[in-house]
Structure 1
Amino acid sequence: MEFELWYLLLVPVLFGAGWFSRSFDIKEKKSVADETQTLYKGLDLLLDNKKDQALNSLVNLAKIDPDTVELHFALGTLYRKRGDYDRAVKIHNHLYNRADLSKKERARALFSLGQDYLKAGLWDRAEDSFRKTADLESDYKVRAIKELVNIYESEKEWLKAIDEAHILEKVTGETYPSRISHLYCELTLQCMFFKKFDEAAHYLQQAIHADPNNKRALIMQGTMLQKQGKLDEAVEVWKQVGKISPEYETLVVASVADTLLKAGKDADAVRYLESVAEKGINSDSVDAAVDWICKIEGPENALEFLRRYLSQKKSLIGFKRLTDLRLAQDPDNKELKELSDFLKNQIDKTVRYKCNKCGFVTKSFQWQCPGCRNWDSFAPVRSEDPSRI
């Protein structure tokens, strides 16, 4: 077979192509190795809670591979947690506007953008981002609606919050009677403030309709009935609160006793207060009952009821009231005065209302936790925490 000389020219060409291919493969492997090493370094720094150094490491990785979606989401989250909201917004906005992003990832970017604006205090922009996310059929739809409810609650846009809560019920198939009822209660208070009494009565009925067992709504209904002169009806509504949840009777003891006295039913008032004191549900309810017994029947009877309670259940609140009653009888007793001051100091330090969801503590009773924003997460009973002494 005749050998063609021009075949020899292919040898260096093929050799060069092979060398170039090998060189490219080595560079590619080196690039991947560098990216992996940088990523691991960033993750290690995150685990060590070194967010600033981790951020720098991930930024360098993003420069190596600018198309990595997950990496950019991670960077945006880190910037937001760091408080650098402008950069977080730029990253998530860039992701949202990428044409090659899937619908799911676009919804994720839009939701993340809403979180950035929310943290930055730009609630109108956050609302717009969450609204657009809620309009998309994605895994972030429910979360976006929940954020909208939270925003409207914070802005005291109660009707909008109620509308979104109803939408949330339809989307999730769940019900939120307590939350919606509380939102109507807030609307009622708002109308009362502006002296729109007819609207207030309407919204209060909506609150009770949403959740017939909402103690707050029933307490407000009793107050409204009392102001209308319907004293017997008011008392019955308030007593219903104690039947639904005995510990909430603390919140109505004074109102029931005062209304019965105004109705000229002193004996009924005393019997009611005695029943509250004998139940001994909690120190606050007994304290309120003793206060009214003292006004109606005098300090001796009040002392007797209080001693009976303290023999069964010890409490700082009870001993403080006992000391004050005795001090009222002997105002010049320095030892009693010092004991009263000491107990007051201990109560101020140790007795708190506590959220059963997040553990937030406060000196005053709240229907909504200032920390986690949950409704009905505070029991109307102050807990005595010795660790605070």
Structure 2
Amino acid sequence: MPDIALLGLILAAIIIGYLFGRRDQYRRSQQQGKGLSRDYFLGLNYLLNEQTDEAIETFIKVLDVNNDTVDTYLALGSLFCRRGEVDKSIRLHQDLLARPSLTFEQSLRVQLALAKDYFSAGLYDRAESILVDVSRQNHEYRDDALQNLLNVYERERDWSSAVEVAEQLRRSLGERYAVHLAHYYCELGEVKLRDNNRVSARQAIRQAFSRDKDSVRASLLLGQMEFEEGNYKEAVKALQRVSRQNSDFISLSIPMLELAYERLDGRRALAAYLSRCLNDKPSSAVILAMTRMLLRDDGNEKAIEFLTEQLEIHPTLKGLNVLLDLQISFQEEEAGSELDIIRRLSEKMLESKSVYRCEGCGFSGRRMHWQCPSCHSWQTIKPVQGIEGE
């Protein structure tokens, strides 16, 4: 439905609600039935002439707020937000809050709506102030206020405050916030690592695992820490855990895992692990890691043979590019030149493709995000599968 038609319906609902709210008063007193104010009829005139904004301004000014109209006013504010007119929604909700006729429950609802307006406008401190106040005032709207407060802290990257709020929600709503908490602790761990506070970073990682034992991000972070500290066996242990937690993310663990095994001189152990991964869930990351091992240990021809066989079963652009590189280095100069043209074309194709995609909203890009920049969901972005991905 077009916005202008929807606005008209909302305004009509406000007027009808107003009239129902006044009906009993009219019955009791003919004095009040003499007519509505001049502004009321001016508002009707604006509406009939499709001057929607002017009509809204007029009705907000002259119509009472009662049980029959408050929901419609809130719907109107929501419509303003969807249209990107947050300033109008803010003004509407501020005007509503100034009405002495609001009940306590209605006031809380309007405050929540105003906090969402402030959040949409990027006024996070104002949104936070209202939401903290509402969460302390009323149990019925507490969880709603806390959920919106969590959005504020995420946007501000205030991970300590996010942990406090998510723990409250976890106690009241159950384990649905466990994944959120694991990521908040990982965020805190990364901050501590950047500050070279490795003890606190380890504590944060332990907290992440305590909230979500299958936290891939915590395993990767722990593997990175162990590797940097020279604990290569522990790094391998942490990184191999990823394949059991969520095999979609194996590609994120392979590069550091190869380095850790190299420091341990553990090529046979790495080969055995990669073979298991290949049997469980083939991916270009695993196939190309095995190709690199064969190239290093058995030479170009064996690597080409293995990769060709795998691409027939599990074709990917990444694998094709590596195969072309190997063929170019193995062929005569003239043949290599022809292959090089194909290689450049396939590389351009690959460069235009997204590497990661959100399963929730479809956002895609070439960089991994643990929280989707578009829909703000946690751990819904994964490596792209299929011929263009893994």
* TM bin (shorter chain): 0.7 to 0.9
Q: By how many angstroms is 1:138 displaced?
A: 5.7
In the aligned structure 2, how far is the partner of 1:277 from the partner of 1:302?
16
Shift in CA distance, 81/381, structure 1 to aligned 2, threshold 3 Å = closer
Summarize the alignment of residues 349-360 of structure 1 with structure 2, pairs less than 5 Å apart: 349-360=352-363
In the aligned structure 2, how far is the partner of 1:370 from the partner of 1:306?
35
Q: By how many angstroms is 1:34 displaced?
A: 9.7
Shift in CA distance, 385/254, structure 1 to aligned 2, threshold 3 Å = closer
| Corresponding position of 2:57 | 59
| Corresponding position of 2:181 | 180
In the aligned structure 1, how far is the partner of 2:173 from the partner of 2:281?
42
**Aligned partner letter, 1:313:** H
Shift in CA distance, 134/295, structure 1 to aligned 2, threshold 3 Å = farther
| Corresponding position of 2:13 | none
In the aligned structure 2, how far is the partner of 1:255 from the partner of 1:140?
46
Question: The residue matched to 2:137 in structure 1 has which SS?
Answer: coil
Shift in CA distance, 86/244, structure 1 to aligned 2, threshold 3 Å = closer
In the aligned structure 2, how far is the partner of 1:215 from the partner of 1:170?
24
Cα-to-partner distance string for 1:166-191 (whole Å, 9 max, x where unaligned): 11122324442211011111111100
| Corresponding position of 2:263 | 262
Q: Return the TM-score normalized by structure 2.
A: 0.80
In the aligned structure 2, how far is the partner of 1:251 from the partner of 1:202?
23
Question: The residue matched to 2:383 in structure 1 has which SS?
Answer: coil
Matched, 1:375 2:373: no
Summarize the alignment of residues 279-298 of structure 1 with structure 2, pairs less than 5 Å apart: 279=280, 281-298=282-299
> For the Cα contact (< 8 Å) 2:186–2:208, is it kept in 1?
yes
Cα-to-partner distance string for 1:13-52 (whole Å, 9 max, x where unaligned): xxxxxxxx99996957xx999988987x69xx8xxxxxxx
Summarize the alignment of residues 258-337 of structure 1 with structure 2, pairs less than 5 Å apart: 258-277=259-278, 279=280, 281-330=282-331, 333-337=336-340
**Aligned partner letter, 1:245:** N
**Long gaps (5+) in structure 2:** 1-28
Summarize the alignment of residues 101-112 of structure 1 with structure 2, pairs less than 5 Å apart: 101-112=102-113
Which structure has more relative contact order (CA 8 Å, sep 6+)? It is 2
In the aligned structure 1, how far is the partner of 2:280 from the partner of 2:172?
44
Q: By how many angstroms is 1:193 displaced?
A: 0.3
Cα-to-partner distance string for 1:116-167 (whole Å, 9 max, x where unaligned): 2112211111111121222232654322211211221221211100000011
> For the Cα contact (< 8 Å) 2:131–2:145, is it kept in 1?
yes
Question: Rg larger in 1 or in 2?
Answer: 1
> For the Cα contact (< 8 Å) 1:303–1:325, is it kept in 2?
yes
Shift in CA distance, 63/210, structure 1 to aligned 2, threshold 3 Å = closer
In the aligned structure 2, how far is the partner of 1:66 from the partner of 1:357?
42
Shift in CA distance, 228/27, structure 1 to aligned 2, threshold 3 Å = closer
Q: By how many angstroms is 1:256 displaced?
A: 2.2
Matched, 1:341 2:339: no
Two-structure CA RMSD over aligned residues (Å): 3.3
Summarize the alignment of residues 205-284 of structure 1 with structure 2, pairs less than 5 Å apart: 205-277=206-278, 279=280, 281-284=282-285
> For the Cα contact (< 8 Å) 1:115–1:126, is it kept in 2?
yes
Question: The residue matched to 1:284 in structure 2 has which SS?
Answer: helix
Matched, 1:193 2:191: no
Cα-to-partner distance string for 1:334-353 (whole Å, 9 max, x where unaligned): 32111111112222223432
Shift in CA distance, 257/84, structure 1 to aligned 2, threshold 3 Å = closer
In the aligned structure 2, how far is the partner of 1:24 from the partner of 1:54?
28
| Corresponding position of 2:132 | 131
Cα-to-partner distance string for 1:224-264 (whole Å, 9 max, x where unaligned): 22333332232122222212322322222222222122112
Q: Would you say how many aligned residue pairs link Structure 1 and Structure 2?
A: 356
In the aligned structure 2, how far is the partner of 1:69 from the partner of 1:289?
65
| Corresponding position of 1:11 | none
Q: Percent identity?
A: 26
Q: By how many angstroms is 1:199 displaced?
A: 0.9
Shift in CA distance, 226/352, structure 1 to aligned 2, threshold 3 Å = closer
> More deviation in 129-138 or 200-209?
129-138
**Aligned partner letter, 2:338:** E
> For the Cα contact (< 8 Å) 1:257–1:292, is it kept in 2?
no
**Aligned partner letter, 2:56:** L
| Corresponding position of 2:17 | none
Shift in CA distance, 63/113, structure 1 to aligned 2, threshold 3 Å = closer
| Corresponding position of 1:116 | 117
In the aligned structure 2, how far is the partner of 1:200 from the partner of 1:328?
45
Q: By how many angstroms is 1:82 displaced?
A: 4.3
**Long gaps (5+) in structure 1:** 1-20, 46-52
In the aligned structure 2, how far is the partner of 1:336 from the partner of 1:281?
27
Summarize the alignment of residues 28-47 of structure 1 with structure 2, pairs less than 5 Å apart: none
